[in-house]
A and B are shown apart, each in its own frame.
Chain A
């Protein structure tokens, strides 16, 4: 069953600016690890940010769990966003806070104003954070400040924070491009394991085709805002890659 349906999505950064996405459609299903590949500037990041409306699309249709994302008002959008976990290229952690506080911050969508001012979280949240930190292998770094960790460790904090949300969908924006190849593979492996376990579909924007082939079951290829490829990973061959990357040397 399709959990996320995107139809004819268009987006631009400014009213008179160039169109970044030119009518993109695709569907993500329940157990998908879904990759968006394409050269730099193809619109991958814009596409993934349109899903949770960090960027407002100009037209099109996004349905998540049957909800029309584009019709939500601010309040409803916030309620919907707390079920969408996001993992970022540069981790986007709060550097001056501890690893634990960063992971707990994943619950902010569920926490009221007063409680969030005083950083009061429920015992259940704290237990969950400790479990997740153990699962991502950071149980010995709980009280360290986020900026004292290595890149791979920071991304693990990012993963734990996203999972704290108990998401129905995980968005990954180039989760490995700030990491070296070995750590990249470990991070992708961790995300795949956790996503399988929690039965969360993943939509992942990635420029490393090798990683995409290895970890993802479906792929769409973007080039200059157009969808050039859409299909299961097995069907991605050299000729479709050449089309996506338009003669660029791979």
Chain B
């Protein structure tokens, strides 16, 4: 019995290797191992001449991530409110709306969002900002709504018992509990958005991705490496900032 399951699994793996790797690869073009090594070696090296012209796109990528995250957060607020079962204003309508919007936002890739917004508002950073906002609001809203669902209800009971309104329950009993959590989620998402915004230029939505694309098209392989290093440094900065600021929140 167990042997049978293994045999089927191994068969499936072999079949998918056959279909995707062996049949699908242009073996003639690859050539020998030495040829592969030579192609990879093209990427070794840094194009120092490119560095000055990277500064602008690097800052742009960073700004796309920052403004996109903030914009996403703004659009999130009603979704968080609608999407948390314990505070949603009219459960049969508002809760499903929020949940569908969250799933839509997360299931469409940032490149696809960027394509949509490039066609809507044209090439450039603005399309990137909109794409980042659209892509990240689902995650922020989902996690924040869950934070609201998991609050300690004792303060809620206290505010209700003294005659507090729904608004007062929100401000005094719920927000103090979830604000630090939501801020942590936003910083985490901002860090991921730096990664995302660095590739958006591939479809014309501004930032380092566009430079990357241009280097690739002109076969300037050291230039590609230079852009990758710039992206890496940007992401490192994001990680450090995110790590320490989230630590400070707790």
Contact = CB atoms under 8 A, between A and B. Distances in A.
Q: Do A and B belong to a common assembly?
A: yes
Given A78-B165, A93-B155, A116 B172 contact: yes
A88 B176 contact: no
Interface stretch (A20-28, A29-37, A102-110, A121-129): A102-110
A94 B155 contact: yes
Interface string A146-173: 0000000000000001100100000100
A109 B164 contact: yes
Interface string A68-106: 000000000011111011101011111111000000011
Contacts of A88: 154, 157-158
A91 B154 CA distance: 8
* Secondary structure dominating the interface of B: helix
Given A94-B173, A105-B172, A116-B171, A81 B163 contact: yes
Interface of A: 52, 54, 78-82, 84-86, 88, 90-97, 105-106, 108-109, 111, 113, 116-117, 161-162, 165, 171
B93 interface: no
B171 A80 contact: no
Nearest to A111: B168
Interface in B150-173: 152, 154-155, 157-165, 167-168, 171-173
Given A93-B155, A94-B173, A116-B168, A54 B163 contact: no
A108 B162 contact: yes
A69 B152 CA distance: 28
Given A86-B162, A94-B158, A97-B176, 11 more contacts: A81-B163, A92-B155, A92-B157, A95-B177, A97-B172, A108-B163, A108-B168, A113-B165, A113-B168, A116-B167, A161-B162
A112 to B, nearest CB: 9
A78 B163 contact: yes
Interface string B163-207: 111011001110011001000000000000000000000000000
A88 B156 CA distance: 12
Contacts of A95: 152, 155, 176-177
Contact of A96 (B157, B159, B177): B177
Interface string B57-91: 00000000000000000000000000000000000
B154 A108 contact: no
Nearest to B169: A108
